[in-house]
Amino acid sequence: MNYIESFEWRYATKRMNGQKVPAEKLDNILKAIQLAPTSLGLQPIKILVVESPEGKAMLAKACQQAQVMESSAMLVFCYWDIITEEKIDNYLKNISETRNQKMDSLTDFRKMITGFSGSLSAESQHNWASRQAYIALGFGLPFTHIFTNDKA
Ligand SMILES: Cc1cc2nc3c(=O)[nH]c(=O)nc-3n(C[C@H](O)[C@H](O)[C@H](O)COP(=O)(O)O)c2cc1C
């Protein structure tokens, strides 16, 4: 079955069958989410994987939906409230280390990011970050189907 055919069978599951999604499949879904493109590459998001009954009970209370308690794992998409200089510098440090680039070479990029964040009100930063979370969700969603459907 190819991806398009697989998507034709995708649907929003309303009740769960009690089976646990194997760790490897969950890891692949999280990896896809991690590889999502975001504005400036800042990835202003954090994904919480909630597997404990206590954690799920808290979410079920907030969502009022039966499938939460029945789920194998709940992925909670969190996003930054505000873009801080510390967060920008952590990002640049990460680029510097992983791409073996000197911090000096990232000065212009840093100016661009601070110029961008400085031009946004707190509310706009919040809206911007939430949209990045939706991109990440959209990147992971197809894989919740592909990676958990052995026929795909
Ligand atoms: C961002 C988003 C939020 C959703 N929230 C809920 C939800 O809270 N409860 C629920 O049962 N389904 C939820 N859905 C599933 C949609 O209702 C479902 O995708 C839509 O009705 C189309 O049905 P299908 O996915 O089976 O094709 C959500 C879907 C998306 C993309």
Measured distance CA(1)–CA(7) in Å, rounded = 10
A 10 A CB-CB count for 79 gives 20
Measured distance CA(44)–CA(35) in Å, rounded = 13
Q: Is 65 in the pocket of ligand 1 (CB under 6 A)?
A: yes
Provide the token pair at 70: 């029945």
Measured distance CA(44)–CA(128) in Å, rounded = 9
Question: How does pLDDT run across 19-62, given as a tens digit for each residue?
Answer: 899 999 999 999 999 999 999 999 999 999 999 999 999 999 99
Indicate the pTM of the whole model: 0.90
Contact 43, 113 (CB under 8 A): no
- Nearest ligand 1 atom to the CA of 141 is 31
Q: Please check the confidence at residue 133 and state whether its pLDDT lies above 50.
A: yes
Question: How does pLDDT run across 71-125, given as a tens digit for each residue?
Answer: 999 999 999 999 999 999 999 999 999 999 999 999 999 999 999 999 999 999 9
Determine which residue's CA is closest to atom 31 belonging to ligand 1.
Answer: 138
Instruction: Check residue 143 and give its pLDDT.
Output: 84
Q: Exposure of 150 by Cβ count < 10 A (0-12 exposed, 13-18 middle, 19+ buried)?
A: exposed
What residues does each domain of the chain span? 3-47+120-146
